[in-house]
Amino acid sequence: MLDLEAQKHVVDGKLRCWLDIDINDSRAAYQRAVNFVAAKNLAYSLTSNWLPELGGSELKRVKEQLYANDFEWSGRGRCAVKMPPQRIYVEVWPEVAPLAVENFVALLLGNRGKGQESGCEMTYKGCHFHRCIKGFVAQGGDFVKNNGSGGECVFPGKKQGFKDDAAGLKVKLGERGMLAMGNSGKNTNTSQFFFTFGDVSRLTGKHVGFGQRDVDAPLREQLVGGAEVLAIMEQCAAPEGDDSGRPAYPVVIADCGVCGVHEPEPMAWAPPAHLTAHAASSTRTVCAVDSTAAAERTESNAVLRARARYTRANGTVSRTSQKQAAAAAAVAPTRPKTAAANAALPAAKAAADVAGASQWTKLKTAARTASSSASIPLAREPAVSAAGVAAVPTADSASSEASGSGAGAAPAAARSIAPPAERAAAAVSASGARRRKSLPRRSDAAPPQYLCPVLGEVMTDPVTTCDGHTYEREAIEMWFRTYAERYPLAASAPSPVTGAMLASTALVSNIALRQVIETWREGREGLGG
């Protein structure tokens, strides 16, 4: 009996099924190209991290230059930047050939477990077309040995195969795309079947015909290329003189099922889950995907031009300088404002023991004044004097730095009190302080200004999304208005935009907004963010 789920989808005595045909390992080659672009798009300055969104020149560059010259990736196998047609839809006739259809549908669904005779999983998935003859047939279905010498039906106790359907033997196999059972004689049907490449009427009455390529669905065929799949299979036919009929390239059933029961989108349609929130329910055609990608690339280029205009007008800090500054900041943290005063106090106190309390008070005040006048990051260890002792800033250096006149401007009383070794150490420390003075102070640096990636203007009312990315509030609202027709989620969003509303995972996963985020990240680095 036909599978219960499949019975629900029989319409006018017809049941629609599908097979994804993988020719010459194209699916794996295409997936390698998808993974390569996702991993290397920034390194090679590609316009997108999703392969189908790249332009024709970029696809050619990826295949012929980037992938081929990448030692690590090219060693994994060939890549294919375009997915060839792979899905073919067929209609089967349960009323004409009930046994053949039940057997065929059960093997498409793969829900009968393992075969009693072979012990193999009873499914067409992964099964090879072992015989392809131009102008004749493409035969497959031997899931046991994949060479045409095996096969097993789903009916228990039918080791030699099930009997022929009388009405199915009357089906004329006189046109391209007919579906019939393969056998080794009368009533020896197992799991092997074949598609016809032309008029093979001489097989009528010898093989049970139970279906054909779905010619009543032109729109579906146009989108997934069912007719083209048969043509490509025929191109893989065995060369002339090869009696085995083995195809020149592997032809494999990568996936299969029954429409309405199990029907995922073809591999070439499905975008990565992190690029769209509606991958499972997407109904966009291939043309719609291409036009959407082109529009979003145009928007991304406009953002880049706006960022360039801002760069020319305001100037930027190079990425190399930013990295050097970040490394220096990590190695040399800022010393607190009181650190210079605390370091100067021991030497000043030693001098006060000789000069008296009044001189001590004067030097202490000068040291504190010097430390509070400049808060500068220290990028090196304290200098070492000729005596091998770390040179600590003394009252001489502190008071001279405070007055801005250098080491030679220290008060005469301080110079007369400090020993020669300490005066030498103070001179070394003072020279280092003068060099540090030439650096810009943090307090004088202008606050960073970030460019909104959508408006191309400096943000005045920023809004932070749930991933931590910042946009101008007006830009987010504009984005909603722009994509209201394309993305229903954006059309239903409340206004004004709030940070809580932006926490929607589906929203930040949209292709357009993610591209804007990536562009904004690059712009932020270029603006010294």
Which of 24, 139, 212, 510 is catalytic? The answer is 139
Which of 131, 213, 246, 469 is catalytic? The answer is 131
Local structure of 239: helix, strand or coil: coil
- Residue 183 known to be catalytic: yes
Give the pairing of strands 470-472 and 137-140.
unpaired
The greatest distance separating any two alpha carbons of the chain, rounded to the nearest whole angstrom, comes to 126
Which of 36, 129, 136, 480 is catalytic? The answer is 136
- Residue 203 known to be catalytic: yes
Asked if 285 and 278 touch (Cβ cutoff 8 Å), the reply is: no
Both structure tokens of 335: 């010393």
- Residue 194 known to be catalytic: yes
Q: How many CA atoms lie within 13 A of 225 on its CB side?
A: 19
Question: Pick from 450, 423, 429: which is nearest to 383 by CA?
Answer: 429
- Residue 435, phi then psi, degrees to nearest 5: -65, -40
- The Cα–Cα gap between 208 and 92 comes to 12
Which of 130, 207, 213, 469 is catalytic? The answer is 207
Between CA 484 and CA 491, with CA 488 as vertex, the angle to 5 degrees is 45
Question: Pick from 265, 211, 267, 263: which is nearest to 22 by CA?
Answer: 267
* Span between the terminal Cα atoms of the chain, in Å: 68
- H or E segment to which residue 129 belongs: strand 129-132
Question: Pick from 435, 430, 358, 347: which is nearest to 394 by CA?
Answer: 347
- The Cα–Cα gap between 447 and 177 comes to 70
- Residue 207 known to be catalytic: yes
- The Cα–Cα gap between 527 and 523 comes to 6
Which of 2, 169, 203, 275 is catalytic? The answer is 203
Residue 436: which residues within 8 A CB-CB, separation 6 or more?
374, 376, 378, 379
Both structure tokens of 35: 């993974």
Residue 50: which residues within 8 A CB-CB, separation 6 or more?
34, 37, 38, 271, 272, 275, 511
Only one residue has tokens 């490449």, namely: 197
- Residue 136 known to be catalytic: yes
Which of 183, 189, 212, 515 is catalytic? The answer is 183
Residue 333: which residues within 8 A CB-CB, separation 6 or more?
377
Local structure of 153: helix, strand or coil: coil
Kindly list the distances between the CA atom of residue 199 and the CA atoms of 141, 205, 242, in Å, as whole numbers in the listed order.
21, 14, 21
User: What are the catalytic residues?
Assistant: 131, 136, 139, 183, 194, 203, 207
